[in-house]
Amino acid sequence: MIEALAILAAGFWAGMINVVVGSGTLVTFPTLLFFGYPPLVANISNNIGLVGGGITGTLGYRRELAEHGPALRRLLPASLAGGLTGAALLLVLPDSAFRAIVPVLIGLGLVMVIWGPALQRHVKDHRPAFSQNPDDRKAMPKPGIAVRSQHSLALTIGIYVLGIYGGYFGAAQGVLIIGWMSMITATSLQSITALKNLLTTGVNAIAAITFMIVAWDSVDWKAAGLIAVGATLGGIAGARFGRKLSPVVMRTMIVSVGLVAIGKLVLFP
């Protein structure tokens, strides 16, 4: 019962964090490791469980998504293709390889969570300046993401690469997407957050479908179900109330859980 309640609570917290920050995996995945789930099983079960939270969080930001239809027709397919690639890599590469790299992946995610605010401040101070030349303005998709035409391909390729990472592991994928889009677009942070929610949910969903078709035996449905219930409710709470929570408190929680997981993996493999 304690284990079930802890996983349920971790799912709720992760669903809320994913909507606002985008690092929920750094709560649920280490929680599953703490209770003895093998890393590959924990990763796949966690991926499936978090889909519900992504859906409710995305619906909560639907107003911010309304004007980005043209951009989504380009970015969503790239993100889905990346997620499929990452899921395939997870299944093709040996379990031992994933087990060995997990502490590094968690550490990378924690670095991105800690560095995220500094990155956003830096980006805000160095936003790309857009020319007033009519030809340049015509090249920008309207309505939607304000991005220079020469950066459009880079934006799409970056979203595909981050989709690969999301399909393979996914911790802090949302932070990376926010950082990438902030660097090469002039879109508001709220709009980028809305786009991030949809893109990461798409990656999780395509990876989850792949895992259920190809790696059914690697799914722990009890863990996935508990995370799904918690994350779905957390996604609703995040979209409604999560924006009011202190980012410092949320990031501190993520880093604390992540460090405990790394310590357990390194000291008690």
Q: At residue 29, does pLDDT exceed 80?
A: yes
Question: What pLDDT does 132 receive?
Answer: 45
- The band of 63, judged by pLDDT with boundaries at 50, 70 and 90, is confident
Say how many C-beta atoms besides its own lie within 10 A of residue 225's C-beta: 18
Residue of 133 and 39 predicted with greater confidence: 39
- The band of 180, judged by pLDDT with boundaries at 50, 70 and 90, is confident
Long-range contacts of 249-253 (CB under 8 A, 24+ apart): 250/17, 250/20, 250/21, 251/21, 251/113, 251/114, 251/116, 251/117, 253/13, 253/17, 253/27
Q: At residue 254, does pLDDT exceed 50?
A: yes
Question: What pLDDT does 143 receive?
Answer: 45
Question: What pLDDT does 269 receive?
Answer: 61
Question: What pLDDT does 133 receive?
Answer: 47
186-201 residue pLDDT tens: 777 778 888 999 999 9
Total domains present in the chain = 1
Q: Which domain holds residue 20?
A: 2-267
Burial 196-211 (b: 16+ CB within 10 A, else e): bbbbbbbbbbbbbebb
Question: What pLDDT does 142 receive?
Answer: 45
Question: What pLDDT does 31 receive?
Answer: 92
Range in 12-21, 120-129, 211-220 with the lowest mean pLDDT:
120-129
Are the beta carbons of 137 and 60 closer than 8 angstroms?
Answer: no
Q: At residue 137, does pLDDT exceed 70?
A: no
Question: What pLDDT does 19 receive?
Answer: 86
Q: At residue 131, does pLDDT exceed 60?
A: no
Residue of 142 and 19 predicted with greater confidence: 19
